[in-house]
Structure 1
Amino acid sequence: MSQDLVSPELARPGRARRPTPFSWTRHRLLVALALACALPAPASLAEERPRPAAPGPEATASEAEPSATGPVIYIDASATMARSPGNSFVIGRRGFFSITGSSSKSLSIDAPLTIDITDDLSLYAGFDFASSKTASTPWSQLALGSFTTGFDYTFLDQAGFLPELSVSGSVSRPVRIPAGSALTTTWSGGIDADFSFDEAGHRGLIAGLALTYVTVNFGLGQLQPLYGGYVGAYHQWESGWKLTGKAGYASFGGGSLGTVIRATPARQVFAVVEFEKYDAADNKMFGVGLAGALSRSTTGKTSTSIQLVLSVPLYLTRKH
Structure 2
Amino acid sequence: MSQELVSPELTSRERISPGGARRPAPFSWAPHRLLVALACALLASASLAEERPGTEATTSEAEPSATGPVIYIDASATMARSPGNSFVIGRRGFFSITGSSSKSLSIDAPLNIDITDDLSVYAGFDFASSKTASTPWSQLAIGSFTSGFDYTFIEQSRFVPELSVSGSVSRPVRIPAGSALTTTWSGGIDADFSLDESGNRGLIAGLALTYVTVNSGPGQLQPLYGGYVGAYHQWEAGWKLTGKAGYATFGGGNLGTVIRATPARQVFAVVEFEKYDAADNKIFGVGLAGALSRSTTGKTSTSVQLVLSVPLYLTRKH
TM-score, normalization: structure 2? Answer: 0.81
Residues 33-77 of structure 1: CA deviation (Å, up to 9, x unaligned) = x999999999999999xxxxxx99868987998973100000000
Residues in 2 aligned to 1:79 and 1:244: alpha-carbon distance in whole angstroms:
19
Structure 2 alignment gaps of length 5 or more: 11-17
1:263–1:278 Cα change, 3 Å: same
Rounded to whole Å, the distance in 1 between the matches of 2:131 and 2:23 is 120
Task: Indicate which of 36, 39, 51 corresponds to 1:36.
Answer: 39
Cα distance in 1 for residues equivalent to 2:163 and 2:31:
84
Structure 1 position 207, deviation (Å): 0.1
User: Counterpart in 1 of 2:5?
Assistant: 5
The answer to whether the 8 Å contact 1:6/1:23 transfers is: no
Q: Is 1:195 matched up with 2:187?
A: no
**Cα distance between partner residues in 2 of 1:159 and 1:82:** 39
Shift of 1:201: 1.1
Q: Do the aligned residues in 1 keep the contact of 2:191 with 2:205 (CA within 8 Å)?
A: yes
- Give every structure 1 segment of 4 or more consecutive aligned residues whose post-TM-superposition deviation is greater than 6 Å: 1-10, 13-31, 34-48, 55-67
Match of 1:52 in 2: none
Q: Which whole-Å CA distance do the structure 2 matches of 1:133 and 1:24 have between them?
A: 12
Change (3 A) 1:90 1:23: closer
SS of residue matched to 1:24? helix
Verify the 8 A CA contact 2:69 2:113 in the aligned structure 1.
Answer: yes
1:179–1:117 CA distance, 2 compared to 1 (3 A) = same
Q: How does 1:128-277 map to 2 (within 5 A)?
A: 128-277=126-275
Q: Is the 8 A contact 1:5 1:23 kept in 2?
A: no
Distance of 2:262 and 2:239 partners within structure 1: 41
Q: Using a 3 Å threshold, how does the CA distance of structure 1 residues 7 and 23 change in structure 2: closer, same or farther?
A: farther
Which segment drifts farther, 278-287 or 13-22?
A: 13-22
Do 1:82 and 1:106's aligned partners in 2 also have CA atoms closer than 8 Å? yes
Residues 143 and 57 (structure 1 numbering): CA distance in 2 closer, same or farther, change over 3 Å?
closer
Deviation at residue 281 of structure 1 after TM alignment:
0.5
Contact kept in structure 1, 2:9 and 2:94, CA below 8 Å: no
Check conservation: 1:6, 1:20, Cα contact below 8 A.
Answer: no
CA distance in 1, matches of 2:27, 2:117: 82
Is the CA contact 2:20–2:139 (under 8 Å) kept in the aligned structure 1?
Answer: no
**C-alpha distance 260-200 of structure 1, shift in aligned 2 (>3 A):** same
Residues 160 and 136 of structure 1: CA distance in aligned 2, closer, same or farther (over 3 Å): same
* Inter-CA distance 137–318: structure 2 relative to 1 (3 Å threshold): same
Give the fraction of aligned pairs with identical amino acids, expressed as a percent: 91
Gaps of 5+ in 1: 49-54
* 8 Å CA contact 1:210, 1:227 repeated in 2: yes
2:22 and 2:136 in contact (8 A); partners too: no
For the pair shown, which has the larger CA radius of gyration, 1 or 2? 1
CA shift digits 1:133-157 (9 cap, x unpaired): 0111100010000000000000000
Q: Distance in 2 between matches of 1:62 and 1:128?
A: 32
Larger deviation: 197-206 or 303-312? Answer: 197-206
Ranked by relative contact order (alpha carbons within 8 Å, sequence separation 6 or more), the top structure is: 2
- Change beyond 3 A, Cα 1:310–1:44: closer
Q: 1:211–1:202: structure 2 CA closer, same or farther, 3 Å change rule?
A: same
